[in-house]
Structures are given as C-alpha cells and as structure tokens.
Structure 1
Amino acid sequence: MQFFKQIKSILAVSLVLLFMAAPAIAGQPKYVFYFIGDGLGAAQRQFSEFFLQDQLKNPNSQLVMDTFEVAGINTTYCADTLITDSAAAATALASGVKTNKGVIGKDVNGNNVKTLVEEARDHGMKTGLITTTRLTHATPAAFASHNISRNNENEIADDFLNSGVDFFAGGGIRHFIPASMKIENADALGKTIKSKRKDEKDLVKGFEGKGYSTFIGMKGAKAFKSTDFSKQDKVFAAFTYTHMPYEVERMNQYKNVPSIADMTRAGIDVLAQGDKGFFLMIEGGRIDHAAHANDPSGVIWDTIAFDDAIKTAYEFFQNHKDQTLIVVVGDHETGGMGLGMDSMGYKLNMAALNDVHVSVEDTLNDGAGQYKGDKAAYLSYLSKNFGLSNLSDAEAASLNKAMVSADAGETLGYYKLNPAALTAAHILSTRANINWTTTIHTATMIPMSATGAYAGRFGGYKDNTQIAKAMAQTLGFTL
C-alpha cells in the first residue's frame, strides 16, 4: 500500500512539473504584431483601398490588412464619455480596462493597470514600440507608462527609460533631451532640435547607459537606413523634434526619414533575436492627424504606409506561420469621414487627389504653405502643390471668404484650424465626393482584422477591451 502511495506522489509531482514547464497554451504565438491605426475607421480603410486600386489600375487590389481571414468590428467608448480619446482607447487596447479620457495606463480610480507590453517583458519576450507620432504620444505611452494625463509627456519619457522595452522608434526627441539643449537644423526634417523638458535630464544618454544604440535626428535617420539591426540588441530612435512627417511629404520631401515599414523591419530584426519571441506594437498615428484636418490625401497616404508596415510583418509571418499572430485594430474613428455626397451623385472621384503633394496640417495650416495675407500667392501654391487648379467660381468665392476670415484672426473647428487651410481641404474633399462631419473623433465602430495563430479569437463584434483580453488569454498573460 505504501508503494502505491509513493507512486501516486511521484506522478503528482511529475504532472505539476510538466505543466510548469509547458507553455500556457499549446501552440501559442511566439511572435506578436499589434497594429493600431489611430483614427482608422471603416471609411478611411475603404477610401485608401479605392485609391490604391485607382493608382494601380487594378480593381482587385487590396490593402494587406483587408486580406486577412479573420475580421470583426469594435466599439471604442471610454469610461466617462461615449466619444473616446486616444489615451483612454489605447489604455483599453493595452490593458483591457476602460478609463477616463486623457488617462494613460491607469483605471478610473487612478490605479496603475498592467499592460500587454509589461506582461510580455515579464514573460521574457522582447518588446517594441513604433509610431509615426511622438513616442510619448498617447498610444505608445499607454503600453509602457502610467500617468493621470497624456499631456505629461516628460514624465512619460521618464517611464520609458525604466520600462525595459527593447526597441523604440518614432518622433518627439524634445521630451528626451535636457532643457538647455538646442541644435539648429538637426532633426530629420532639418528643423531645430530643442527640449520641452524643465530639467537637465538627458534620457538619450540614459538609454545609451543601459546598452541601447541611439538614432537621433537627421544623423540618426541616415544611420538608421544603413544599420544591420540583426546585430543590435536594443534600440532607441527619435528622428524628429515632434511627430514624424506625413507620408505624402515623407515620400516627396523627406526621403531620408525612415518610413513606418522601415521602422517595422528594423524592429523585427532586433526583437527576433530573443529566444522567447517578441511583442511589437506599431502605430500609424498620423492617419488620425490627417483626419482631424479633414485631409483626404493625408489619410490615404498614411493608411497605405501603415499597410506597407503590415505587409512587412506579413512577410515575416510567411516564414513563421504557426508561431506568428498579426492583429490590426483602430483606436477610434476621426473626422466622421463619409464616402459620397449629393454634389456628384453615386460615384467617387479618386483622380481629384492625384496632384496633392503636401499635407493640410503640417504645410497649409502650420508650414510653408500657410496663408499669410497674400491671396494670389496662396492660390498659386494650392494650384501647384494641392491639386486645386481651375477653381470654379463657387470654389474661388469660398477660398476668398476663408482668407478674409483668416485675415481677421478667426479659426475653425475644435482645434482652431486656419480657415484657409480647412477650406482648401474641404474643396479637395468635395471634388473627390467625400464629406466630413467634424474635426474631432466620433463614436463610430471600427474594423479589426487578424491572421495567424489563434487569430479567430479576435473576430466578431467586440469592445476594444476584449481585444486586449483576448490577447492576454492567447499569450497566457494576466492583466
């Protein structure tokens, strides 16, 4: 009898050890790509695909994200308002928790919540954050920081230094350098690098002290393009003073600046060296900014660039099919983008966007193409750079009224846009037969798509919190 008791005891211990050694889920993904299109609603995805088809003269062309076998739709509301902001939405996508507008990585009571990136790190996986916005902007911040306000970007930068994340790439060097630092014409767009900090902390040196290879400004952007990242252990890259350029301008004016696909490829090369796999979050952040400015071409080109990054991940997936999961979501819809209006009936005119070379926000609203009182010069600029030649009488009258309004110091929309810039965006949109209901976010549900190991868990009608929870369940994490 004692013999059988000993056998049962040995078997029990063996089973416990077996379960401890085994992965939490048989066949769970080793490599995870979490793509977040900021402001990427159904209209933005569809319109960009239509434009791609028109450019390629192939009605069967698709965005890579629209070819995945699993699809769904997600609600986006946050704890204190039905129309979310990116901070609350990203916290939901990163931690599975509803929180208040503007809050990063905390619940409604101010308690820190565990994120997928933190769980991945604690499970021995390599981790990375990539964005076309400032690195300290709401979406990447919610994966590796905890703060009562998304606006506390210096504190968020401090959190990043201590986060253990292995790969960072994006913009926003201003929150990582000492208050006294100022270098003329040094960022990747040729703009001045200066600090937004109130102290003399040099977080770039801090990252270097922890073994990170750093790629800063124009010099860093050029080096980034020629670096073999399979030989890099940890990377911190911040190329621009604030956000990365819109894709429509990156591809026309700033070709030395890495694309979101370039950053994704580098991230894969660094993180794939880990024995336990990786978790990589990639944000197409400027889709949202373009939609805030009601900029149809800005939306299209940044969505296509985002899809090129997804294509890069999909190429990796092809060689690791049983071990890779790719999930593509949005955090909310921006602009209330509608495809079709009475002015042109039942059609869209994609050709109206062919001659657009600049963005509404960075150039017409704030940059070299801003209206500054010379009406003839502004109209000439729009004709050469924004596709608005051969103005109709109604279009000319609308622009003239907007320029008069700008001369009077008036602004339009929630974010106080230059009337001349926003009116130009609306004329271009009308020519393409699209409409905008707002310059802010909407509560519209947004599409999701996924492929790879356990992709089926992400399909169907879900709240954004359920996406994070499904990810945690799939990876054996506890949020």
Structure 2
Amino acid sequence: MFSAKKYTSFFSTLTLLSAVALTMNNATATDMKQQGQVKQVDLPKNIIMVVADGMGPAYTSAYRYFNDNPATDEIEQTVFDRHLKGLASTYPAPVSGYVTDSAAAATALATGIKTYNGAISVDINKKPLLTVLEWAKQQGKKTGVVVTSRINHATPASYLSHNESRRNYDQLANSYIDNGIKADVYFGGGWKNYIRDDRNIVNEFKQAGFQYIDSYSQLTELVHDKPVIGLFADLGLPWALDDSNKHRLTLLTKAATKQLKNEAGFFLLVEASQIDWGGHDNNIATAMHEMDDLAKVMEYLESFVAENPDTLVVLTADHSTGGLTLAANKDYRWNPEILRTMQHSPATIAKNIVANDQLNLQEINQWLNFDLNSKEFQQIIQVNASYQQATTLHLLLSATEKTAQKAPELKEFYRQAILTIIDKRTNTGWTTTGHTAIDVPVFAFGKQSEQFSGQLDNTDIAKKIFTLLGK
C-alpha cells in the first residue's frame, strides 16, 4: 500500500450475438486456457469496469497534491493510492505502431484483442469481436454504461458495438437499436446522434420499453425494474467545473448501480471521459476537477463494495494524454492552490470576458476565483491586439487556404491566455496535445481484485474479466 507521507507510493467457444457475428482470436483462447478457470463459487456477482480516459500516472500524482490539505504536514492518501495494483501497457496492433488511440485501447480493454487505431471492437481485418459487456448480457446479467462523453463515443461504443471507425457516430448510434439492445442503462450525452431529423433513436428506445430522462433531477423518479436511457447533453456533458453538479459522474454512477442491482448481478462500464479532454486541451484546471469527480465515484464504489462484497471494481486508463508533468522549466515546484478554488472552466471564463464590454480586473478575478497580478492582467489586455493581428493575416489568405484554416476566435485567444497563466502559476508542463505511449496505472478492489496485480497488458484486463464472467 502506498504511503503518501513517505512519498512511496477466453475464451473457449465462439457465440452469436443478435445480428452480429462475433469472432475471437485463437491466441487469446490459448492464453485463457493457460491461465486456468476461476472456480464458479469464486466469481464476482457484479463487475464494475471504470475507464479513466487519458489518465496516466502523472494525473493520479497531481490529484494527490491537488487534494492535499495544506494545513497538515502529511500529504493525505487518496482513493487511488489505496487501491493501486500495478501497471498496464497500452500499445495497439502493430499496424498502428506504439501509440494507441481511445478506440483501439477500449477495444483491447473490452475484448482482449489488439486492433488498429480507430477500430470499434473489430479486429485488424474489421471482423467483430465479442466484448465483456455482450458476454455478461448473454449470461443473464444486467448491463449498463455511464459516461461523461456521448454514449456512442469511442470507449462506450467499444463495449456496445462494432464498427470500422469511431467517427461513424450516427452508425454507432443506430447500432444500439439495430444490432440488438445490449444494455439496461445508458447515461451520458448524445442528443445530436440520438434525436436526429432522419431518425429519433430515443423514441425507438421508448418503444422498446425504456424510460427516457434528460435532466439529473429525473434520476430520482426512475422505476427500478424498467431500463433507462438518460441523455443530458448534445454531445459530451459540460466540464465538471461548469456543470450544475460538479460530481455528475458520481451522481450518475450511484443511480446506475441502484438501477442495475438484481439477483443475477450486473456489468457496468463507467468512463471518466473528460480527463482525456483536459489533457488534449493542456488544461490542468479542468483535468483536476474531472479527477475529483472520478475520485468521488471511486469513494462511492468503496462503500458499494463494502455493502456488496461480491462486487469487483477495476479502474484503469486507456492511455495517457498530454504528456503532463508536475514541474517545468527546471523549477522544482508544483503549486495547485489556485486550481482548488476555481469554479468555472477557462473556456467559460473566456466567454464571459468576450461578452463583457470592457476588461475589468475585478470581474476577471471573480470569474477565476483568484487574483491576477499586474503582469498577468497585462497578458489579458494584450489578447485583443494578438487576435486582431491573427484576423488580419487570415483575411489575406486565399479562398482555399481559408477553407483549410479556421478563422481566429477572440474567446479562444482569451482561453489560451488563461491557460498560460494557470500553467505558469502552477508550474505545470505539457509535451503534447495528443496521446503518449507510457504504461498506465491499474487499480482494483473487491472480489478477485488480486487478479489484477503486477505488470499487465491492457488485453489481460479483458481476458481476466471474461474468466470472472465464467467464460
């Protein structure tokens, strides 16, 4: 167990699913036989798979310091520190090199098989692969997905569907009905793909007997023995910092476990989707508040397992995003103080500044919830000149060049200025706005959690879950 104070820190047979023919890899089957089968009596009744998209090791370290109580000498242990089991490699199929995208990584976590970047639970030959959620459903368990992205985004789609490209969002949304309904609970965003002019998939779910909700307040009105689809945004949910409930993933997970609980057990996928988006944005403020929401989810799941000891919880990341570093520019410090007090995302603060007639230091300080010094305020003042220069240059582009290059937006210039100030204040560093190939942490607790210890590959996680589902 980590001591923060001292700074230590499958298959055997092939099945058919609805209208989808599912294949499996012979090597995977051999691996499963070599691992041996867990005795039926030892199988967990409920399995909760948590994917923290983009959460490399630096994110859990950063959260420890973000969560620290400065009034004490001890750096308090976090829920992540309590349940660390090991590391997992994340590389995709050789055709895509060493750096994975979310689709290939989620496919590995859902099926136990490597594939190419962009694939949604199909192999490198684009043939469908059986997922742990589909297998759990076949075994009579209830199933569900809870995400802060749209429910047909790469990770949830890789557990629920099969497609050659993660970008085929409408096709993936259609498949949730056309290929057979595979879950009893769907919580996340997605109005854009599920309520369209050409097809209203929400209505089709309702015709299939589902409850539909579109606000958090309706969660308390759900009928327990009736499936539910809850869509709460056009695409992904708002940043935790901007949402009406800053722990909305926790709220949705609590509702899902209550809805899924039954004698046969359940399989639930929970994705903290927007940690990854914070990494892509090189936005430490939003990333830490997404981590805080995830931490509250895990603390809730600790209490759920205490009351339901036949439950297994596994948490890992699909990859790490942004090349986050805690300290930059040879300066031996990382200061998360201002991150703790922020109440709005940099994007919302930038939008507020643009909507204001004139720059007002007092108002900006109120939106940030920390005080800018004179140099930092000067950086904000200079934004408009930089934006005007960029706009002038864009006007000089040819029609073809303008089509290929997005016109400058004033709010984006302010947002970038705010991010620069926050990085400087906290001394946060980034190496990329993309993914990295580093191994990611694996956490587990509950029944059979010891199965997830040591150095693993991401495919091992799915193989072990298949075994624990009796395959």
Is the structural similarity TM-score above 0.5? yes
1:427: how far off?
1.8
The whole-number CA distance in structure 2 between the counterparts of 1:158 and 1:58 is: 54
The equivalent of 1:352 in structure 2 is: 338
Instruction: Tell me how far 1:353 sits from its aligned partner.
Output: 2.1
Residues 252-275 of structure 1: CA deviation (Å, up to 9, x unaligned): xx24x87111111111111112x2
- Partner residue in 1 for 2:168: 152
Q: CA deviation at 1:118?
A: 0.3
Q: 2:348 aligns with which of 340, 346, 363?
A: 363
The DSSP-based 3-state class of the residue aligned with 1:130 is strand
CA contact (8 A) 1:353 1:387 kept: no
Q: Return the match for 2:288 from 275, 300, 315.
A: 300
- Equivalent residue for 1:444? 438
Identity within the alignment, %: 29
For structure 2, list consecutive stretches of 5 or more residues without a partner in the other structure: 1-36, 395-404
**Residue 173 of structure 1 is aligned with which of 180, 191, 196?**
191
User: How far apart are residue 352 of structure 1 and its match?
Assistant: 2.6
Deviations 1:260-292 (A, max 9, x none): 11111111111112x221000000011111121
Counterpart AA for 1:234: P
- Counterparts in 2 of 1:140 and 1:210: CA distance versus 1, 3 Å: same
Distance in 2, matches of 1:383 and 1:264, equals 34
- After TM superposition, give the deviation of residue 364 of structure 1 in Å: 5.2
Residue in 2 aligned with 1:43?
58
Q: Which amino acid aligns with 2:387?
A: A
Q: How big is the shift at 1:211?
A: 1.4
Aligned mates of 1:172, 1:352 — CA distance in 2 = 32
Q: 2:368 aligns with which of 383, 386, 389?
A: 386
1:439 maps to a residue whose letter is: T
Q: Given the superposition, is the C-alpha separation of residues 263 and 473 from structure 1 closer, same or farther in structure 2, using an over 3 Å criterion?
A: same
Distance 1:401 1:95 in 2: 51
Aligned pairs for 1:81-96 (under 5 A) are 81-96=97-112
How much does 1:349 deviate?
1.5
Deviation per CA, 1:47-90: give whole Å up to 9, x if none: 1121111378573533323212x511111121213221111111
CA offsets 1:341-399 (integer angstroms, 9 cap, x no match): 246x3332222324422223x5257xx3365897x538666433225633353x45655
Preserved CA contact (<8 Å) 2:38 2:467: no
1:242 is matched with 235
Give the one of 63, 73, 81 matched to 2:87. Answer: 73
Distance in 2 of aligned mates of 1:404 and 1:30: 61
Aligned pair partner of 1:453 in 447, 450, 455: 447
Q: Which residue of 2 aligns with 1:187?
A: none
* Residue 406 of structure 1, aligned match among 360, 384, 387: 387
Q: Structure 1 330/390 Cα, relative in aligned 2: closer, same or farther at 3 Å?
A: same
Quote the residue 1:334 is aligned against: 321
Q: State the partner residue of 1:377.
A: 359
Measure, in 2, the Cα distance between the counterparts of 1:72 and 1:147: 31
Q: 1:34 aligns with which of 49, 59, 70?
A: 49
Deviation of 1:100 after TM superposition, in Å, equals 1.3
Residue pair 1:24, 1:475 contacting (<8 A) in 2 also: no
C-alpha distance in structure 1 between counterparts of 2:436 and 2:387, whole Å = 27
Match of 1:260 among 240, 249, 257: 249
1:420-439 matches, within 5 Å, as 420-439=414-433
Q: Tell me which amino acid in the other structure corresponds to 1:337.
A: L
Q: TM-score, normalised by structure 2?
A: 0.81
Note if 1:113 corresponds to 2:129: yes
What's 1:53 paired with? 68
Which of 110-119 and 378-387 deviates more? 378-387
Amino acid at match of 1:306: L
CA distance, structure 2, for counterparts of residue 106 and residue 385 of structure 1 = 45
C-alpha contact 2:115 2:124 (8 A) present in aligned 1:
yes
Q: CA 1:390–1:264 in 2, change beyond 3 Å: closer, same or farther? A: closer
Q: CA RMSD in A?
A: 2.7
Q: Give 1:214's aligned residue.
A: 212
Query: Could you list the per-position Cα deviations for residues 299-335 of structure 1 after superposition, in whole angstroms to 9, with x for gaps in the alignment?
Result: 11111111211222221100222x1111010111111
- Could you list the runs of 5+ residues in structure 1 that have no partner in the other structure? 1-21, 180-198
Q: How many residues align?
A: 416
Question: Following the alignment from structure 2 to structure 1, what is the Cα–Cα distance between the partners of residues 445 and 363?
Answer: 44
Specify the alignment match of 2:458 in structure 1. 464
Residue type at the aligned position of 2:317: G
Q: Give, in whole Å, the separation in 1 of the partners of 2:374 and 2:464.
A: 52
**Alpha-carbon distance in structure 1 between the residues aligned to 2:319 and 2:382:** 33
Is the 1:98–1:107 Cα contact (8 Å) retained in structure 2? yes
User: Structure 1 CA distance, aligned partners of 2:470 and 2:68?
Assistant: 40
Cα separation, 2, equivalents of 1:458 and 1:76: 15
